[in-house]
Amino acid sequence: MNFALDAAKVRLVHKNERLEKHGEEEVLACDLDFEYDSANSILAEFHPELRSVMYKRPDDVQGELEEDPAHLTALRVPELGGHVKFAGAQEKSELVFSRGQKKHLVFAEAKIHKFSFDCKDGGTVIVRFQAQVHPDEGQSGKLSGLLQDKHCLLTIVPAEDPGRPLDA
């Protein structure tokens, strides 16, 4: 898995602070739960067949007018409710919160995991995931502010991304 975002508008929906043991030392850790709306093509980034498992071409007349064979917008089995959990995790990703062009908060070694998808009829998918970070007190306060703001711009750069600058 190589999950990445580039200044995506996401919702920070939950923040949980806790202490973690790192050897003898206790370190502040924070779980951040995010969600955002996406086209169902995002599912292919997690598994090449996931989109076609969840979606099919529409059965109605209007759907028949669509000539694109990749136009998959109808839930294949709506009775399942469209909720899918994905077990993958991505270690040591860079997590960057920004305000416009300015970097607001940067976490160099975030763990991104607990992915889930709410697939909606029409092709929209609500993507949810959790990031684990280790903020200092100042960063923790800024994260609380983002929680109150609800929306933020988020960039995620996977550690193994070959396009990642060497000095990042």
- Per residue in 34-75, pLDDT (tens digit) is 999 999 999 999 999 999 999 999 886 454 445 666 779 999
Q: pLDDT-derived band of residue 168, with 50, 70 and 90 as boundaries?
A: very low
106 to 57, 122, 155: CA distances (angstroms):
41, 35, 10
Please state the domain extents for the chain.
5-157
What is the pLDDT at residue 66?
Answer: 52
Are 135 and 107 spatial neighbours (Cβ–Cβ below 8 Å)? yes
